[in-house]
């Protein structure tokens, strides 16, 4: 097996290779499972992951790093929904039970993660308040217009987020779909920690339920803002059909949310021919790195990082 010889060669040249690819020997355990057909089929995929791990990242995030990252996303969501419920007439009364549940979930997630982190909560997260924004669309910590990178607060592409139900639903979808990808991208860093990994997975699926519901709601309540076949699941990378797009600036702000979702190669297996390329992209949601989430998405909404 050429690849295993390669590992030996690297080991000779770089005695710390094994530690680089995994301080906990997870990668070595991976190698021992390569005897089966499944693993051989997955080799190129698995090895590219190993090398990225070994040399592409400066450090593996700690469990506290992961939790603080998740908390930042949850604080953003909680503040967003708390503000929406403080605005009379924004939320359709027929939807307030469901969106109220989403709001409760996000506030519960904040409290749950804070409870685990305790004194390890980052200073930036500690400073962030989820109290409703009384007027306008921004406060000291958040800019829900999506304009946090701009020079004028509250003047981003979603400036009417708390005046227009359609835009509110679009931004809510953006946060939930981002949340799904954000948690998914962190699962590997929690491997081996049964309690935190399982809790993260149990939040991840709740975010996906939220995203599904909000997408469905947009089709029912604001059909003119989404394609006729808009779905609770993610079709392709949505660069032309996100339904979130209201302006060119909004497209720039939301394209990173779906970048990479057109992938049809899973675990080294091309699944595009099983039914259709479209269905293949829908059947698997894709992860995002914390850097992609923070730098390309949350940075539009977080006034302080």
Which listed residue (287, 289, 299, 303) binds other proteins by CB under 8 A? 287
In this structure, what is the dihedral angle of CA atoms 129, 130, 134, 139, given to the nearest 10 degrees?
A: 50
In the complex, what is the shortest distance from the CB of residue 54 to other proteins, in angstroms, rounded to a whole number?
12
Closest CA to 289 of 135, 192, 185: 185
Q: How far is the CB of 221 from other proteins (least distance, A)?
A: 12
Q: Using alpha carbons only, what angle is made at residue 78 by residues 96 and 123, rounded to the nearest 5 degrees? A: 170
List binders of other proteins among 237-266 (CB under 8 A). 266
Q: Is 112 in the site for other proteins (CB under 8 A)?
A: yes
Supply the DSSP symbol for 138.
Answer: B
Alpha helix (H) ranges present in the chain?
A: 2-13, 17-21, 26-32, 37-51, 63-85, 96-117, 123-127, 165-186, 194-221, 248-258, 277-283, 290-292
User: How many residues form the binding site for other proteins (CB under 8 A)?
Assistant: 86
Structure tokens at 175: 């946060």
What's the chain's Rg over C-alpha atoms?
A: 21
Q: Is 23 a residue that touches other proteins (CB under 8 A)?
A: no
Q: How far is the CB of 120 from other proteins (least distance, A)?
A: 16
| Contacts to other proteins from residues 41-100, by CB under 8 A | 41-42, 45-46, 49, 97-98
- Least distance in angstroms from the C-beta of 250 to other proteins: 23
- Phi (first) and psi of residue 102, to 5 degrees: -60, -45
**Of positions 14, 23, 35, 126, contacts other proteins by CB under 8 A:** 35
Among 81, 109, 226, 297, the residue binding other proteins under the rule CB under 8 A is 109
Phi then psi dihedrals of residue 153, to 5 deg:
-60, 140
Neighbours of 186 (CB within 10 A): 24
Which span sits near other proteins by CB under 8 A: 38-46, 131-139, 154-162, 291-299? Answer: 38-46
Among 64, 86, 160, 216, binds other proteins (CB under 8 A): 216
- Helical H segments across 121-272, by residue range: 123-127, 165-186, 194-221, 248-258
User: Which of 171, 184, 297, 302: binder of other proteins (CB under 8 A)?
Assistant: 184
Both tokens assigned to 141: 């910590």
Nearer to other proteins, 148 or 222 (CB): 222
Stretch that binds other proteins, among 65-73, 86-94, 160-168, 190-198 (CB under 8 A): 190-198
- Asked if residue 294 binds other proteins (CB under 8 A), the reply is no
Residues 192-211 that bind other proteins (CB under 8 A): 192-194, 197-199, 201-211
State which residue, 266 or 299, has the beta carbon closest to other proteins.
266
Q: Binder to other proteins among 44, 223, 260, 267 (CB under 8 A)? A: 267
Establish if 218 lies at the interface with other proteins (CB under 8 A).
no
Q: Which residues contact 153 (CB under 8 A, 6 or more apart)?
A: 138, 143, 145, 147, 303
CB of 230 to other proteins, least distance (A): 11
Cβ neighbours of 164 (radius 10 Å): 17
CA 274 to chain centre: 27
Q: Is 36 in the site for other proteins (CB under 8 A)?
A: yes
């Amino acid at each position: 097996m050429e690849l295993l010889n390669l590992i030996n060669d690297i080991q000779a040249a770089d005695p710390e290779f094994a530690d680089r690819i995994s301080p906990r020997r997870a990668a070595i355990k991976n190698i021992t499972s390569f005897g089966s057909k499944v693993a051989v089929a997955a080799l190129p995929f698995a090895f590219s992951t190993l090398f990225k791990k070994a040399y592409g990242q400066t450090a593996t995030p700690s469990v506290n790093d992961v939790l603080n990252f998740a908390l930042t996303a949850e604080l953003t969501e909680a503040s967003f929904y708390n503000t929406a419920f403080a605005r009379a007439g924004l939320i359709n009364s027929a939807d307030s039970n469901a969106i109220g549940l989403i709001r409760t979930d996000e506030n519960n997630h904040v409290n749950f993660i804070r409870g685990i982190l305790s004194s390890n909560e980052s200073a930036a997260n500690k400073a962030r308040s989820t109290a409703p924004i009384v007027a306008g669309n921004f406060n000291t910590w958040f800019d829900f217009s999506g304009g946090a990178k701009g020079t004028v607060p509250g003047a981003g592409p979603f400036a009417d987020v708390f005046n227009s139900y359609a835009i509110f639903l679009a931004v809510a979808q953006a946060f939930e779909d981002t949340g799904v990808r954000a948690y998914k991208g962190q699962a590997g860093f929690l491997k081996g920690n049964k309690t935190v990994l399982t809790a993260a997975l149990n939040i991840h699926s709740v975010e996906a339920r939220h995203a599904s519901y909000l997408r469905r709601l947009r089709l029912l309540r604001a059909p003119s803002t989404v394609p006729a076949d808009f779905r609770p699941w993610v079709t392709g990378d949505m660069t032309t059909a996100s339904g979130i797009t209201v302006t060119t600036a909004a497209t720039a702000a939301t394209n990173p949310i779906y970048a990479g979702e057109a992938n049809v190669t899973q675990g080294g297996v091309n699944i595009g021919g099983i039914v259709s390329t479209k269905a293949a992209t829908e059947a698997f949601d894709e992860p995002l790195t914390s850097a992609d989430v923070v730098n390309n998405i949350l940075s539009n909404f977080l006034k302080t990082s």
